Structure 1
């Protein structure tokens, strides 16, 4: 039986998923990563729009990208497995493109990319674990009611 009790997570970068609360917390990490991407992209796009020049390859067209990550954050928070995977894949593809076209961001950008990739991966793991544990709890409750 899966307990809904929280315990201290030892590894923020690859959390244990021993219960439903842990799965929710890991899933939320992916949601917060998407919120961070949406916010930073929107801020840089706004600065780019008002300054009239592209900043690190980001221009006013990036508002669309920010909106996509905002939707991804919302759906990951609703425990959508498909949006958790889409968020991770889209983030990785965008980072590959950014590093290929804007090599000057490799320093701090690579560090942040690793942190956010781990958060998105936790989101995927947590979302899938959440659904697996919810199904197991539902089956246990159904079996207990029949007995």
Structure 2
């Protein structure tokens, strides 16, 4: 998935169109652990018999599990370490199922120097189907001042 030891991008490094991606195949343990950590044990996610009776015909992955992959990219790759989440819109478009490979991307679409804000388009796909999209706004640290030798 993601190596969390990435070099951060400072605000001055960002340009429109910069993009990062990751992919994650969701397994049973991911769903169980997300349910445990979040406390969301909705049977649509954890009970196969119940889920079979729903319009989905089976269990689906928590929508916020998929959304958390945006946070992974924003916090580890683009902009990376030091970025502070300010906001996120989410449009849930289709279900994700256990065993699906989710392809996630973030792309810089706006830079605001005042407050060092970046707005990024976020998209998650399973195959050709967009399952989740939205936009994130983050505050990005400035490049540190370098000390000059006297």
TM-score of the alignment, normalized to the shorter chain, above 0.5: no
Q: Which has the higher contact order (CA 8 A, sep 6+)?
A: 1
Bigger strand share: 2
Bigger helix share: 1
When normalised by structure 2's length, the TM-score is 0.28
